[in-house]
């Protein structure tokens, strides 16, 4: 369905910017992509919720989260960056696997099932897009979603 990007993103991030502020985390956006895209609004919302939940979960007060959009090579790029604890190189190979979690013990504080990113990958797949994980310099994690736009 046709979705107006800026309004959609702003609606998704509103609760997150509030929670981040209450947690003492900086939340910022750089929304360079504008216009209307054909996406499954509900599922794309869920995808961003998964990435933003993780960004909040794996950052401490004083750290930062940002969501950037841009159009590159006729593709919509959405990057969710955080300056949190980051993911090991070994972990990066597995974060999209079912039930994968970086700490097996002590996982209670940041509880979860390890299914979030598996669902995120599936949502990106049905949009014929790509999702990748990278280090955010100098510290933290970037999840980058690239979607073809018509």
Interaction pattern, residues 88-127, with ligand ATP; x per rule: CB under 6 A = -------x----xxx---------xxxxxxx---------
* Structure tokens belonging to residue 83: 């300056």
Cβ neighbours of residue 97 closer than 8 Å, sequence gap 6 or more: 114, 118
Q: Which of the ranges 13-21, 25-33, 38-46, 51-59 carries the binding residues for ligand ATP, by CB under 6 A? A: 51-59
Is residue 84 a contact point for ligand ATP (CB under 6 A)? yes
89 C-beta neighbours (distance < 10 Å), count: 8
Q: Classify 30 as helix, strand or coil.
A: strand
Q: What angle do CA 27, 30, 35 make, to 5 degrees?
A: 130
CB-nearer residue toward ligand ATP: 37 or 48: 48
Q: Classify 50 as helix, strand or coil.
A: helix
Q: Which of the ranges 18-26, 68-76, 80-88, 123-131 carries the binding residues for ligand ATP, by CB under 6 A? A: 80-88
Instruction: Say how many residues touch ligand ATP, by CB under 6 A.
Output: 21
Is residue 82 a contact point for ligand ATP (CB under 6 A)? yes
Q: Classify 68 as helix, strand or coil.
A: strand
Binding residues for ligand ATP, per CB under 6 A? 50, 54-55, 58, 82, 84-87, 95, 100-102, 112-118, 141
């Amino acid at each position: 369905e046709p979705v107006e990007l800026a309004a959609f993103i702003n609606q998704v991030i509103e609760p997150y910017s509030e929670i981040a502020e209450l947690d003492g985390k900086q939340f910022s956006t750089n929304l360079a992509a504008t216009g209307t895209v054909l996406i499954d609004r509900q599922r794309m919302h869920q995808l961003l919720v998964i990435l933003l939940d993780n960004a909040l979960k794996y950052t401490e007060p004083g750290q930062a989260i940002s969501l950037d959009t841009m159009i590159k090579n006729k593709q919509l790029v959405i990057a969710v960056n955080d300056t949190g604890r980051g993911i090991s190189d070994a972990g990066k190979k597995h974060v999209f696997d079912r039930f994968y979690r970086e700490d097996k013990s002590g996982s209670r504080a940041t509880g979860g099932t390890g299914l979030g990113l598996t669902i995120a990958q599936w949502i990106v797949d049905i949009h014929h897009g790509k999702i990748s994980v990278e280090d955010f310099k100098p510290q933290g994690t970037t999840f980058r979603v690239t979607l073809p736009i018509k």
